[in-house]
Amino acid sequence: MAEKDPEGIIATDPRNNYDRKCLIIRKLLKFNPKEVFTWQLVKTVAMGQGLAVLMCGTAVTSQYLASDYHVDAPMFQSFMSYALLCLTYTTALLFRTGNGNMFQILKKRWWKYLLVGLVDVEANYTVVKAYQYTTLTSIQLLDCFVIPVLMILSCWFLKTCYRPVHYVSVCVCLLGVGAMVGADLLAGRDLGSTSDVLLGDGLVLLSASLYAVSNLCQEYTVKHLSSVEFLGMVGLFGTLISGIQLGVLEHNNVANIQWDWRIGLLFAAYGLCMYTLYSCMPIVVKKTSATAVNLSLLTADLLSLFCGLFLFQYTFSGLYIVSLVIILVGFVSFNAVATTPNPADPITPSVGWEEGGYDNLDDIINEEVVVAVLEEQEEEEGECPGVSWNQRTQNEEVPAGGRSTKM
């Protein structure tokens, strides 16, 4: 075979196409459903739908407050959830010792968490504000913009390597969202204002981008530092920022609320649902990814619609069931194949690494994933059959420092 192929003869050689087809057939013959549909996948789907149920709870309580009691105080609702995070997780950081103490974290990274808190607060505020200018249909469609933005950011900053099945799965989920929007249109639920659609759509896109940045920071923090640190710092700065914004923008709205036990119960239910959502999301993100979590939350609107059939007398459509099935199929297929770090990028140890090994389990897992990918690639290419990557690296010359020249 010639070293250079300026005419593209090798690429169009039928024998190469035949070899590729044979490789695909061999992979299909080796397919074992038990290796894909594992108990871990079942737990991942269950946890993702648990988050969707919590998101549905926030939507239903907000709908009750707006429709039955005419309460318009979205920033006050956000302030309650941030205050709960601050009371629990920030207090936990206060009693920690060493580098995990709140003052040590603020000393090293206070400005980073200030930005993360600002991004998270404004992401929540801008999407609620968009309802004043555009329709529910536009919000449901454009809010999905968070997924491609998050995938791009993950590839760029976290070096996540997505496979073709992941992109296909995302497209399937978005197709399910399209079916849901179609069902809304057929049922006559194209709700919302149309006073300035362009402004409203811009606010939704801005909110989706801000959510993507916040989720990216969350994934990095929970996988490299600590879930309690992330929640504590977001609770601290989120409470400060949302409190200031509440005092400036919504003090009159809060003062005009006709308080009774029903309104208080709805506010409490919203705050607890949002607090639990924030508390559980890092657990799911650490086991999967921020992208997978956002795909699971696509079913939250559908769950809210099913609740609305009984609570708000919404009109039922069979497309809702079709949409739910499509989204779940896309979510399961996305999580059936694990994302991996890009093998072309070196593995960089996390914060706190010391000479002689890793102190973070994620680094060990990432290294094992890269080794497995390299072994699979070289096995397909026919190089060194029967010899594992670890066996070959053990034969490498070890420098005086005691560490191999390869990871």
Across 375-382, average pLDDT: 51
Q: Residue 12 gets which letter from DSSP? A: T
Contacts of 227 (CB under 8 A, 6+ apart): 221, 282, 283, 286
Half-sphere exposure of 136 (CA within 13 A, CB side): 16
Would you state the pLDDT for residue 340? 65
Torsion angle defined by CA atoms of residues 112, 116, 118 and 122, in that order, rounded to the nearest 10 degrees: 160
Name which of 40, 38, 53, 33 is nearest 287 in CA terms.
40
Across 51-76, average pLDDT: 87
What b-and-e string marks burial along 265-284, b requiring 16 or more CB atoms within 10 Å of the CB? ebbebbbbbbbbbbbebbeb
What length is written for the chain?
407
Half-sphere exposure of 364 (CA within 13 A, CB side): 6
Alpha helices in 187-289 (DSSP H): 197-224, 227-249, 251-255, 261-287
Name which of 113, 209, 204, 114 is nearest 153 in CA terms.
209
Backbone φ and ψ for 313, nearest 5 degrees, come out as 55, 45
Would you state the structure tokens that stand for residue 70, as one six-digit string? 């005419």
Each residue's pLDDT tens digit, 121-137: 999 889 888 877 877 77
Name which of 288, 345, 59, 26 is nearest 169 in CA terms.
288
191 — pLDDT class (breaks 50, 70, 90): low
Percent of the chain scoring above 90 in pLDDT: 35
Q: Which of 34-43, 63-72, 107-116, 396-405 has the highest mean pLDDT?
A: 107-116
Contacts of 318 (CB under 8 A, 6+ apart): 183
155 class by beta-carbon count within 10 Å (0-12 exposed, 13-18 middle, 19+ buried): middle
Q: Are 290 and 218 in contact (CB under 8 A)?
A: yes
36 — pLDDT class (breaks 50, 70, 90): low
344 class by beta-carbon count within 10 Å (0-12 exposed, 13-18 middle, 19+ buried): exposed
Name which of 260, 247, 221 is nearest 79 in CA terms.
247
Please check the confidence at residue 65 and state whether its pLDDT lies above 60.
yes
Placement of tokens 């919302």 in the chain: 192
Alpha helices in 68-162 (DSSP H): 74-85, 91-94, 102-130, 136-142, 146-153
Would you state the pLDDT for residue 269? 94
27 — pLDDT class (breaks 50, 70, 90): low
Among 5-14, 56-65, 280-289, the least confident range: 5-14
Contacts of 397 (CB under 8 A, 6+ apart): 405
DSSP 23-71: HHHHHHHT--HHHHS-HHHHHHHHHHHHHHHHHHHHHHHHHHHHHTS--
Q: Are 231 and 85 in contact (CB under 8 A)?
A: yes
Please check the confidence at residue 372 and state whether its pLDDT lies above 70.
no
Please check the confidence at residue 341 and state whether its pLDDT lies above 50.
yes
29 — pLDDT class (breaks 50, 70, 90): low
The mean of the pLDDT values for the chain is: 78
Would you state the structure tokens that stand for residue 52, as one six-digit string? 């969707």
Distance CA(88)–CA(95), nearest Å, equals 11
Percent of the chain scoring above 70 in pLDDT: 72
Please check the confidence at residue 348 and state whether its pLDDT lies above 50.
no
Would you state the structure tokens that stand for residue 65, as one six-digit string? 């407050």
Would you state the pLDDT for residue 26? 61
Residue 314, classed as helix, strand or coil, is coil
Would you state the pLDDT for residue 344? 43
Cα dist from 13 to 10, 18, 203, 362, 383, whole Å: 5, 9, 51, 42, 22
Please check the confidence at residue 1 and state whether its pLDDT lies above 70.
no
Would you state the structure tokens that stand for residue 288, as one six-digit string? 């999967």
Contacts of 405 (CB under 8 A, 6+ apart): 396, 397, 398, 399
Would you state the structure tokens that stand for residue 224, as one six-digit string? 């490299």
Across 65-90, average pLDDT: 90
Half-sphere exposure of 362 (CA within 13 A, CB side): 22
Contacts of 49 (CB under 8 A, 6+ apart): 296, 299
Please check the confidence at residue 3 and state whether its pLDDT lies above 70.
no
Would you state the pLDDT for residue 190? 63
